[in-house]
Amino acid sequence: MATIGMPLAIDFEDSEFAIPRDRLRAAKHTVVVIGANAGERLRGKRGEEYAAVDRSIDDAKPEEYDALVIAGGHSPDHLRGDPRMVDFVRRFVQLNRPVAAVCHGPQLLIEADLVRGRRLTSWPSVRQDLESAGATWVDAEVCVDGNFITSRKPADLEAFARTIITRVARSAVA
């Protein structure tokens, strides 16, 4: 099965981390939380979920992952302030493997200068940022553009997770 990286920082949107993680694990994929410091315990912004960092960004290599999933909340804002995370995501995208981002997750893709010419969705308040960075914003439950999978909000998470699982399976066959 696939190994999925989840870049994560404090104040992630609890459900936007937990639901994709749980669905990916149920599909027998390995989920690795990538953060600033291995072993660090991160708290969701609602205090409902906690995540242990499995791999420090200093030890993470893009080629070790079959897909990336970026949860929303305030986590992407913290992640985009870390040049190591931005570089990791940029290098991962060059591998042409699935990259999924929900809600505010595309902020990290914007910082890595990866959205120009892409069709993406997000939480509505990220729309202007995406458009200013050269993306076309769409109001859709899930938007797939090449290897990018984006979604808007917690209500879209089941469709988002299904799409990730389908894309990972398709990538494994290719």
Task: Using a pLDDT cut of 70, give the percent of the chain over it.
Answer: 98
pLDDT score for 171? 80
Going 151 to 61 to 110 to 66, the CA torsion angle's sign is negative
Catalytic hit among 103, 130, 135, 164 = 103
Q: Confidence band (pLDDT; 50, 70, 90) for 174? A: low
Query: Cβ distance 57 to 87 under 8 Å?
Result: no
Stretch 94-118: mean pLDDT: 98
- The answer to whether 103 is a known catalytic residue is yes
Mean pLDDT of 91-101: 97
Beta-sheet strands, E only, within the chain: 3-7, 30-35, 41-43, 50-52, 55-56, 67-70, 99-102, 119-120, 136-137, 142-145, 148-151
pLDDT category at 170 given cuts 50, 70, 90 is confident
**Mean pLDDT confidence for 109-121:** 98
> What average pLDDT does the structure give for the chain?
97
pLDDT tens by residue, 8-50: 999 999 999 999 999 999 999 999 999 999 999 999 999 999 9
**Residue extents of the structural domains in the chain:** 3-173
Question: Which fold is adopted by the domain 3-173?
Answer: Rossmann fold (3.40.50)
